[in-house]
Amino acid sequence: MLFNSVRPDYCAGGEAQSGLGRCLMLVGALTFSTAVTAGWQDPLQTPAMTTSKAHQGLLLDITDAGERLVSVGAHGHIIYSDDQGMNWQQGQVPVTVTLTATDFANDRHGWVVGHDGVILHSGDGAITWEKQFDGFLANKAMMASAEENLAEAEARAEAVAGSGSDLEIDQAMTALETAQFALQDAEYDLETGSTKPFLDVYFSDENTGMVVGAYGMAFETEDGGRTWKEFSSRLPNPNRLHMNRITRVGESSLVITGEMGLMLRSDDMGKNWVALEAPYEGSLFGLEDMGDYQLLFALRGHLFRSEDDGISWTALEDVTEQTLLGATSGDRGAMLVGNGGAVVTLDSRFNNPSVNTIQGRKGLSAVIRSRSGYYVVAGEAGIQLVGRDGALADKQISMIAGGE
């Protein structure tokens, strides 16, 4: 089975679309008219245009870089604020693809991922960016990895053929079949081009990081992104399900959440992975860790709470029917945001949920608490500030020209 040839495109709708985290429901706001004009330019080779309205366009993620806030989104827009979300400046970005997620290892070094398999790096706190990787390079790496894995599977199948062990033979043949399918998919991807998006990025320090995305794409680096190595073969994800988020839990654990209840866990910072039984079979959009408590959020507002580092889960019933896509937490509790302007707040033990709706009901994709006391939300309407009650703050947000 060639998954790419039969599964719906990742922005076509249905479960495949909802498995794409921040691409969900907001992607309808994107219109790339240049693709059908005679003057079409490759978005991987075209720098993002400077605009005074970048803070009002589609933004899909937000994080902090020291005391600076950084948000990313459509048309290659990366903006940053040094006053906790009131005023924003636009970074210099070498691409115009939609950017889906960002993470900073410290106040200087940060990474952004997005459509067409792009990975960007900044060494000056989001002011300027360079492209480290893209879908063309990803496809070549996945092809090489698939060929290597197939050769190993063939050798294994041949080695156990005369062992007399039905179990070993069955396992080897299953692994061989999986490797054959993976090679067919890699060949298809290589012919198709740089089509698949990365959906999340995590760096534990300025050298060590991982990115995950659609159709099981997973790459890692140990040199700050100068080189990227494919590691999806280490993941128990044979159907190449979309991976929406990678989250650190505790001191040395990582959890990947994705479509169709995909939940993968590593307790050695990514060297080895196991599949966990998720409490929900639909798409999982993220996990929020606050030390003693964890929160898992999923399609159609399904929320689950854990007190044992995400090993077992208890459902929070009847909170909302809106899909929740982003979360943040602190000593005051947690806030989640999602479709239809939904805002859910919980106490510091991830209990007692309260649901609010932001005026205008625009889709929300990410949230972070600022040092000013407000929560800064990114989404279909760009940057918005909300209070703990989920209501919009009466504050003027603006763009200012230039960088440092």
Residue 86 is predicted with a pLDDT of 96
Q: Are strands 87-90 and 398-399 parallel, antiparallel or unpaired?
A: parallel
Q: Are strands 243-249 and 87-90 parallel, antiparallel or unpaired?
A: unpaired
CATH topology of domain 9-131+197-399: Methylamine Dehydrogenase; Chain H (2.130.10)
- Pairwise CA distance, residues 332 & 392, whole Å: 18
Cβ neighbors of 385 (< 8 A, separation 6 or more) are 85, 86, 370, 374, 375, 376, 377, 392, 393, 395, 397
**CA angle at residue 298 from 296 to 300, to 5 degrees?**
140
**Cα separation values, 114 from 212, 312, 326, Å:** 10, 32, 17
**DSSP-based three-state secondary structure for 87:** strand
Per-residue pLDDT 10s for the chain (404 aa) are 222 323 333 443 344 343 344 544 444 333 333 344 446 788 999 999 999 999 999 999 999 999 999 999 999 999 999 999 999 999 999 999 999 999 999 999 999 999 999 999 999 999 999 999 998 898 888 787 778 878 887 888 888 887 768 888 888 888 788 778 877 877 777 777 667 999 999 999 999 999 999 999 999 999 999 999 999 989 999 899 999 999 999 999 999 999 999 999 999 999 999 999 999 999 999 999 999 999 999 999 999 999 999 999 999 999 999 999 999 999 889 999 999 999 999 999 999 999 999 989 999 999 999 988 899 999 999 999 999 888 999 899 999 976 44
Domain ranges of the chain: 9-131+197-399, 139-191
Cβ neighbors of 211 (< 8 A, separation 6 or more) are 111, 113, 119, 198, 200, 201, 202, 217, 218, 219, 220, 228
143-181 pLDDT, tens per residue?
A: 877 788 788 878 888 888 877 688 888 888 887 887 788
Closest CA to 328 of 386, 276, 277, 270: 386
pTM score, two decimals?
Answer: 0.86
Spatial strand order of the sheet with 218-221 comes to: 198-203, 209-213, 218-221, 229-230
- Pairwise CA distance, residues 216 & 332, whole Å: 35
